[in-house]
Amino acid sequence: MATHPASHSLDSMSFDNVFTRELPADPESSNTRRQVLDSCYSRVSPTPVAAPQLVAWSAEVCELLGIDPEAVHSDHFVQVFAGNRLLPDMDPYAMCYGGHQFGNWAGQLGDGRAINLGEVLNPAGERAALQLKGAGLTPYSRTADGLAVLRSSLREFLCSEAMFHLGVPTTRALSLITTGESVERDMFYDGHPQNEPGAVLCRVAPSFIRFGNFEIHAARQEFELLKRLADHTIKNHFPLIELGDTPTTNAYIKWFNDVCERTARMIVHWMRVGFVHGVMNTDNMSILGLTIDYGPYGWLENYDPNWTPNTTDAAGRRYRFGQQSAIAHWNLLQLANAIYPLINDPDPLENALSNYATVYASEWNQMMAAKLGFKVWDEDRDAPLITELHDLLPLVETDMTLFYRGLADLAAKRSTLQDNAGDKGLISPLLDAYYVPEQLTNDYRARLDAWLRAYSARLNQDGLNAETCRENMNAVNPKYVMRNYLAQLAIDKAETGDFTMVHELLDTMRHPYTEQPARQAFAEKRPDWARQRPGCSMLSCSS
């Protein structure tokens, strides 16, 4: 593969590849599928593609990397981020990791279609690993083809950037490039394979290390390697933890506590915005507490804690919305088991796991207080109110996003609503959130009205100025989320070569909390045609 010596804004990126420098590589250099023992990664180059074409990019990620956003329009950029050309200091590799999938140990998984290009140190001294997803076979590709299709790559591109702007910890996306080649996929694994356009996504994160990176070495009893990987992770990504020349168990305990807390905070954000990851296997859990591996994810439209978009998980609904915190806890337990040999004492690990639950509960309470516009959380007063709200929301089909935006209007206008129109008045700002108006029976309305009155009285106790209250609520309750049906409409157009909706969606999601009247179409609840359509409410792992 040729490198490109000519001067270019990309060439100003400064690489510092600590992962490959500090950790042992697979001694075998052939790109064949196999078990890779005693190594953290295998060096492997991306497979060149025929006719790369830039579809979308993130100007903010360019800036993060110190690249001039104009550089994306050059042929050089497209060749590099399609995997056709390496920059001089890139050192491409695929990581070795394992994982628990749907509750069972799955052995070696690894980067089967992701190839890390290297780690950039940006002008602010921040580290950013660049990773191409869909860049071809690696030793970890198992029985699959190493490729990705436009549909799923677009979903990941749009959603990871949207999550960033929503304030949710996440990996980022620099660019999305179609390959000009087609890829065969049987979307619902039902004997109907189709050719789809191939794509390569460039993802960006301080590190792509997952829980599964530690699990694989523990499972193989590669304890020296486990320690080296943990030391590497702490030294480079947890700078507040003092490691010293001979790390003590204390450092590992602090680190695990930190991972637990970051994970708790990430899940609370998911619950705040109504995000369902869909495949919370331990290989899809970032050690940095970032949302990673956007596959069959979804956004709650009608609030239903039992919902998952992932048809592959339809039977057990293991990864349903309401179970995400419990699953993260279970995943952390698997990580605790994996790193146990570094600590050799169950107590501090158990303490960290129970601290996860404490941090989660307290963060969740704060989050709910903020969503409802309360100044501070008061357990005795607020817990019953929130329990009743969560009992009410799933009773009739209620769009979560629209409900909370409507609630902010109600909070701001509550005195006039109450005085003027009796029972009808309080519900009026919320009517738009209901999918099936006939479900609003008298009984339901009476129960909702009682709640709204109690809620309104609770707001009065805080005595916040009406406009301040609305602004506070609208700063945590998004107006725009990456609704599946919108992503699907953008995909339908993109598959015909029209990328305008992709760009419009991305642009809208840059300011998800701000009213954008010209973009009202992206704030509407799911239309009826999208209720059962594949890609809108049902997604499989096929990508």
Q: How far apart are the first and last CA of the chain?
A: 27
Measuring CA to CA, which residue among 31, 172, 10, 2 is closest to residue 93? 31
State the minimum distance, in angstroms, from the CB of residue 535 to Mg ion.
20
Closest of 81, 20, 337, 372 to residue 207, by C-alpha: 20
Residue 46 as a binder of ligand AMP (CB under 6 A): the answer is no
* Residue 531 CA neighbour count, 13 Å, CB half: 8
By CB under 6 A, is residue 197 in contact with ligand AMP? Answer: no
Provide the phi-psi class of 406: left if phi over 0, else alpha when psi is between -120 and 50, else beta. alpha
* CB-nearer residue toward Mg ion: 112 or 478: 112
Q: Is 293 in the site for Mg ion (CB under 5 A)?
A: yes
Least distance to ligand AMP, CB of residue 133, Å: 9
Binding-site partner at residue 111 among ligand AMP, Mg ion, none, CB < 5 to 8 Å by type: ligand AMP
Binding characters for Mg ion, 273-292, by CB under 5 A (x = yes): -----------x--------
Task: Tell whether residue 378 is a contact of ligand AMP (CB under 6 A).
Answer: no
Residue 231 CA: distances (Å) to CA of 168, 236, 248, 256, 306 = 27, 8, 11, 12, 39
| Minimum separation from the CB atom of position 198 to ligand AMP (A) | 10
CB of 108 to ligand AMP, least distance (A): 8
Please give the residue whose beta carbon sits closest to ligand AMP in the complex: 112
Q: Which of 179, 284, 312, 484 binds ligand AMP (CB under 6 A)?
A: 284
Question: What DSSP state is assigned to residue 523?
Answer: G
Q: Is 110 in the site for ligand AMP (CB under 6 A)?
A: yes
x/- track of binding to ligand AMP for residues 58-97 (CB under 6 A): ----------------------------------------
Q: In whole angstroms, what is the distance from residue 543 CA to residue 197 CA?
A: 11
Q: Cα(138)–Cα(146) distance, rounded to whole angstroms?
A: 7
**Residue 113 interacting with ligand AMP (CB under 6 A):** yes
Strands 114-121 and 14-15: antiparallel
- Cα–Cα distance measured from residue 411 to residue 426, given in angstroms and rounded to the nearest whole number: 10
Q: Is 480 exposed, middle or buried (0-12, 13-18, 19+ CB in 10 A)?
A: buried
- 11 binds ligand AMP per the rule CB under 6 A: no
Catalytic choice (26, 111, 258, 283): 283
Of ligand AMP, Mg ion, none, which one does residue 295 interact with (CB within 5 to 8 Å by kind)?
A: ligand AMP
Residue type, 369: A
List binders of ligand AMP among 137-156 (CB under 6 A): 140-141, 144-147
Q: Does 373 bind ligand AMP (CB under 6 A)?
A: no
Q: Max CA-CA distance within the chain?
A: 77
Query: Is 313 tagged catalytic?
Result: no
Binding site for Mg ion (CB under 5 A): 284, 293
Binding site for ligand AMP (CB under 6 A): 109-113, 140-141, 144-147, 279, 283-284, 293, 295, 541
Task: Give the active site residues.
Answer: 283
